[in-house]
Chain A
Amino acid sequence: MSVIAKRIEESFPTGFIKAVEWRGDVAIAVKREALHQVASFLREDPAMAFDYIIHVSSVDWPDEEERFEVVYELYSIRHRHRIRLKTRVPESDCVVDSLTGLWKGADFMEREVYDMMGIRFRNHPDLRRILMPDEYEEGYPLRKDFPLRGKGWRDTFEFLDEPSR
């Protein structure tokens, strides 16, 4: 197991779930309650010093109990190491602590996750849709139960040259 994963396991014995290393990428799964603490540890600790946020993403696993997975990818310019921090949320209560206070770039990235997957971020300064229109109400397009063709919203557009359907 990598040094970083070991440090996290030692510092957060209750929050830590597991660490997986595959193809050279280290992914650490933590409990949702511990996410913010682990993230601020990763940012502040001088041996970690993850000062750079790469992306925030999300995965939908509809058959599992805790349906959504939120993924943060972090990098340290100083130590040149990277890590993937993951946490799970159930559909009934899909709220995660926002990391906007730690990395300013998390603002837009978390908004995108909210827009595409419907996961809400607690303490986010401006949690609105970002790529989809504000008035869009059909749900969250990257969820697995959302059809590729959409849910009929685009059939409601009126075309200028054609009679409306």
Chain B
Amino acid sequence: MPPFEDQRTTIYKVDPEHPESATLPTLRTEELLLNMGPQHPSTHGVLKVILELEGERLVKSTPVMGFLHRGVEKLAEEGTYHQFIPHTDRLDYVCAMYNNFAYCRAVEKLMNLTVPERADYLRTIVAEVQRIIGHQFWLGTQALDIGAMTVFFYCFRDREILLDWFDELCGARLTTSWYRIGGVERDLTESLLAKLRQFLDYFPPKIDEYVVFLEKNRIWLARTKGVAVISAEDALSFGLSGPTLRGSGVDYDLRKYEPYAAYPRCEFSVPVGKNGDTYDRYWIRVQELYESVKIIRQCLEQMQEGPIMADVPSVTLPPKERVFTNLESMIQQFKLFSQGFNAPPGEIYCGTEAHKGELGFYIVSAGGGKPYRLKIRAPSFIHMGAFDHMSKGYMIADAVTIFGTYDIVMGECDR
């Protein structure tokens, strides 16, 4: 008998006396398991998600992570505090500067170190430049994943300018390691300042351009509005942070809640969404681009001449030119890198508002030059915890949007 033959006959076998008794045949339903990843382009790295599907609807999704696990927390226990800075570059490799920043702030809190004012301004400027890069990267790739390719080229064209700027600043485009415990590695030169000012004039009209491409794009709107909705209460309970949380209407931003560096001296607003969907998060990120430009402008205006490194010889590194000419500085540099500084026993947690969310370092010191335990609170990892909750009931194609809505980077997620 061919398949469905029996069903067809049941449809036609209606008792003419009682037509209401006719029932449609029951269709066989079965849940389908589908592996998405580990090498799907939208996962931005190596992430596998096992999707349980009912038709095209997601019933349950189980993220399988750890493909990029390198044991960074274990490595931290084996090196000195200074030596860990380059490792932080490799956490969120899209935005290395902010990782350096968050880590250095945590160690400064542990050592009770105050950073000179100029260094604070420099840190804020570079961190905001990094935030612009991060949001451009997000916007470009998210649009590409969803089906709007042009924005990707526009974003990456402008991102390239800033990466070249980083190259001139510290000699690397992505793995920067420019921040130091107690300050920064080197000052902005005249040429860098001029280039940055030029970029600040150039950039705001370009943001408008990105928006023009998306605001009336029906595909973009259909695939972001009302997708990956999460209520404020759930978002807090899951520990989401950054634009992912602010999209739900919670104005939690550490730059305002617990101001650090030069942020308390700058005026800026924190955009907050309403509906908690991907579109609101997109809107927040675009607004943050404008805010970042504003912050950098104010910092450039307010910044005064001064030292860029705290002068605490037992902790901070000596200026590089002195290392090569002065014996004491050379000994200091050697001791700091071979033995490290002596941290007091204790434990601290220090969170920093990176562009993805709250990037925090929990450091336990048992005295000595190495951290006894270093835990990284990575926003990407914690956002993945909410993936199952946020993807329930959406179409399979929306899974791509939901990865993107967190701005996920696996280097940080797996550590």
Q: Taking beta carbons and an 8 Å cutoff, which residues of A are in contact with B? A: 22-23, 25, 27, 51-55, 57, 59-60, 71, 73, 77, 80, 82, 84, 103-105, 107-109, 112, 116, 129-133, 141-142, 146, 148
Bound state CA distance, A86 and B366, in angstroms? 17
Q: Which of A51, A57, A107, A131 contacts B66 (CB 8 A)?
A: A131
Show 9 residue pairs from A and B whose CB-CB distance is below 8 angstroms, ordered by the A residue.
A23-B348, A52-B236, A60-B373, A82-B349, A105-B386, A109-B239, A132-B66, A132-B69, A148-B75
Which residues of B are at the interface with A, using a C-beta cutoff of 8 A? 65-66, 69, 71, 73-75, 78, 109-110, 112, 233-234, 236-240, 250, 252, 257, 346-349, 351, 358, 360, 362, 364, 372-373, 375, 377, 381-382, 384-386, 389, 414-415
Does more than half of chain B's interface fall in helix, strand or loop, or is it mixed? mixed
Contact with A105, one of B110, B238, B250 (Cβ below 8 angstroms): B238
Beta-carbon nearest neighbor of A117 in chain B: B373
Indicate which residue in B65, B74, B257, B347 contacts A27 across the interface (CB closer than 8 Å).
Answer: B347
Q: How far apart sit A72 and B112, CA to CA, in the bound complex (Å)?
A: 23
Known A73-B362, A84-B349; contact A54-B239, beta-carbon cutoff 8 A: yes
Q: Which residues from B are CB-within-8-Å of A105? A: 237-240, 382, 385-386
Residues of A within 8 Å of B360, CB to CB, are 54-55, 73
> B78 — which chain A residues lie within 8 A by C-beta?
148
B66 adjacent to A103 (CB under 8 Å)? no
CB distance from A98 to the nearest CB of B (A): 14
Cβ of A131: which chain B residues have Cβ within 8 Å of it?
Answer: 65-66, 69, 414-415
Q: Shortest distance in angstroms between A79's beta carbon and chain B's nearest beta carbon?
A: 11
Query: In the complex, are the beta carbons of A130 and B347 less than 8 A apart?
Result: no
Min C-beta distance of B60 to chain A, whole Å: 11
Instruction: Give A109 to B379 CA distance when docked, in angstroms.
Output: 11
Contacting residue for B348 out of A22, A80, A108, CB 8 A: A22
Chain B residue with Cβ nearest A111: B385
Measured CA separation A112–B257 after assembly (Å): 28
Chain B residues with Cβ under 8 A from A53's Cβ? 237, 239
B162 to chain A, nearest CB (A): 30
Residues in A neighbouring B377, C-beta threshold 8 A: 54-55, 73
* Contact of B382 with A23 in the complex, beta carbons under 8 Å: no
Q: How far is the CA of A109 from the CA of B237 in the complex (A)?
A: 12
CB distance from A159 to the nearest CB of B (A): 18
- Distance in angstroms from B114 CB to nearest chain A CB is 13
CA of A107 to CA of B411 in the docked complex: distance in angstroms? 21
Of B74, B237, B373, B385, the contact of A59 (CB 8 Å cutoff): B373
Smallest CB-CB A-B distances: 8 pairs: A105-B239, A108-B385, A131-B66, A55-B377, A57-B375, A105-B238, A131-B69, A104-B237
Closest residue of chain A to B351 (Cβ to Cβ) is A54
Looking at the assembled complex, report how far the CB atom of A158 sits from the nearest CB atom of chain B, in whole angstroms. Answer: 19
Give the docked Cα–Cα distance between A53 and B381 (Å): 13
When distances are taken between beta carbons in the complex, the residues of chain A under 8 Å from B236 are 51-52, 77
By the criterion CB–CB under 8 Å, are A59 and B372 in contact?
Answer: yes
Q: In the complex, A23→B65 CA distance in Å?
A: 35
Task: Determine if A59 and B364 form an interchain contact, defined as CB atoms under 8 angstroms apart.
Answer: yes
B71 touches A103 (CB 8 A): no
- Residue pair A107, B74 in contact (C-beta under 8 Å): no
The answer on a CB contact under 8 Å between A55 and B234 is no
Does the CB pair A130–B389 fall under 8 Å? Answer: no
Q: Which residues of B contact A23 (CB under 8 A)?
A: 109-110, 112, 346, 348
How far, in angstroms, from A116 to B252 measured CA to CA in the complex?
30
| A84 to B415 CA separation, bound complex (whole angstroms) | 23
Asked if B351 contacts A108 (CB within 8 A), the reply is no
Contact partners of B347 in chain A: CB under 8 A: 22, 25, 27, 84
Complex Cα gap A142–B71 (Å)? 9
Which residue of the partner chain A has the closest CB to B414?
A131
Which A-chain residue is minimally distant from B389 (CB atoms)? A104
